[in-house]
Amino acid sequence: MIGAGLANMAAAVYLIQEGHWRGDQITFYGADMHGANDGGPTTDFTSEYWNENHPMENTTGYVARGGRMLNYRTYVDLMDLLDRIPSATEPGMTAAEDTHDFDAHHRTYDKARLLQGGKGIIDGGKLGLNNKDRVLLSKLVMMPDDDETKLDNVSIAEYFKDDPHMFQTNFWYMWETTFAFRTQSSAQELRRYMHQMIYEFTQIEHLVGVNRTRYNQFESIMLPLIKYLEDQGVTFIDNRIVTDWDFADSELQDDITVTGIHVKNVDSGEEEVVAIDDDTAVIFTNGSITDSATMGDYDTPAPENMEYGISAALWKKATERFYNLGTPDKFFNDRKSSEWLSFTLTTKDHLLLNEITRITTQVPGNALNSFLSTTPITPLGQKDVNMSIVVHHQPHFTTQKPNESVIWGYFLYPRRTGEFVHKQYIKMTGKEMAQELIGQLSKVDPGPNNIKNKEAEIMDSIINNIPVYMPYASALFNNRAKTDRPEVLPEHSTNLAFTGEFAEQPYQMIFTEQSAVRSGEIAAYHFAGVSMDNLVDTPRYDKDPKTLLRATKKMFS
């Protein structure tokens, strides 16, 4: 296994349970043992992201580079996987039962999906679509699967080029911030989302289809997988980067057979070549949305790491040898289309949390709020989203103290300039991001109880706020052609499979949890000789007349 993220861990579970492989037949090589699904105290990250050239002054509080929303109706492979392993925090439950139990007691119903300065809570149920918007969206939904290549290399902006109104609708603001699409993202990918998430179209203003884990994604998803695989005897070799391949020479130049991998020790810099024999499969996660990520702290912005993603660099070396393995540069050579910035804010009391509860009129645990600018900041002179925050059910970490709060947020466009801190978001410290957040909240609720009146007290309550710059966070949505991602099982490959968000699966939308697990499942079944008929059935809501009728009615709201 090259890469120790969700996709390859899923492959390992299926190899053991469905293929009846022994755990000691599986070895992971990875720079870390969690992939994009991380989360924990800041001290867990210091060795990965800070060094003598960029010391971290404040090593308190928590950090998660991203946040995960689940959806039982669509994430069918993920839930199948989690039902195969014990929970890491709830005795007697599988990881799936743990999530179902928690979610049943903390259902999502967002009352403040959209917030706008001077107006407060916006009625997101009014999508704001006009007839041209409806026609173009309908064409996407009704487009047959076989016609999908017509959207090769077509961006969302190009698809709606004669309809700039689309990007001023409540629908777009909610879709953009729920899934992290941009106008320059792939229209082909938007089509897949509209197909597989069409039922969510009818309830997007409240996010009632969103399901959440009990704790952060590491402790509720990755930790159960790690513990299960360790108990099965799987070998994890941490702090390793695979830098190059050895391939077999063949009379048939198209044959793809790995004979060795070059493994670099991150700590020592030493490199070894691991031989791959004829009975060994190589399962490779060929890209990560958290590659080249960097972190700042309360007093330091997150620096830019200009390195090409490490997993994508290895993918690129394979494409230089073989023609049918995709185009890494489409995803990893266009940061303007893929970068964003997140922050994890930890407080020593619940003052900020209580203020957000008051402003949004809802308790923590089901709030996903987007703040809209009242000033034109896009090239078309439209208002657009400034910042999104997620207030999870507390505690979000098992070691979190009862008096502590953790809030997560992100800037989809990190090069934009703040309204209250006059810097680009990417240049802000954690402190300045907290000040910008308070300022945005003050615009939403400008009355006598304005949160600005408590700014000094709130700032004093902050333990830490960690900015994280991710140059490839939205790379999985980058504009592309269908052949720019390799298939999980490329033609002519004898022992190499690709997994994760940058592996092509017919008509599957690319979403971190679901598609990652399914790619691992496909790879495992192939190498273990298990029939693909045993794959978890993928629902097709775009074929359901009742769902389509409800979506049509919603378009006219």
Q: Are the beta carbons of 159 and 187 closer than 8 angstroms? A: yes
What whole-number distance in Å separates Cα of residue 90 and Cα of residue 20? Answer: 27
- DSSP 8-state secondary structure symbol assigned to residue 51: B
Q: Are the beta carbons of 466 and 42 closer than 8 angstroms? A: yes
CA dihedral (501, 502, 506, 509) in degrees, to 10, reads: 40
**Terminal Cα distance for the chain, rounded:** 48
Pick from 297, 289, 290, 292: nearest CA to 467: 297
Please give the backbone phi and psi of residue 513, each rounded to the nearest 5 degrees, phi first: -80, -55
Other residues' Cβ atoms within 10 Å of the Cβ of residue 369: 25
The 3-state secondary structure of 104-171, one letter per residue:
HHCCCCCCCCEEECCCEEECCCCCCCCHHHHHHHHHHHHCCHHHHHHHCCCEHHHHCCCCHHHHHCHH
Number of Cα atoms under 13 Å in the Cβ half of residue 211: 21
What whole-number distance in Å separates Cα of residue 315 and Cα of residue 486? Answer: 10
Choice among 14, 49, 75, 193 that is catalytic: 193
Q: Is 323 a catalytic residue?
A: no
What whole-number distance in Å separates Cα of residue 218 and Cα of residue 240? Answer: 20
Strand 282-285 relative to strand 496-499: parallel, antiparallel, unpaired? parallel
What whole-number distance in Å separates Cα of residue 455 and Cα of residue 442? Answer: 10
Pick from 39, 40, 41, 49: nearest CA to 291: 49
Strand 385-391 relative to strand 405-411: parallel, antiparallel, unpaired? antiparallel
What whole-number distance in Å separates Cα of residue 217 and Cα of residue 296? Answer: 21
Catalytic residue numbers, as ranges: 193
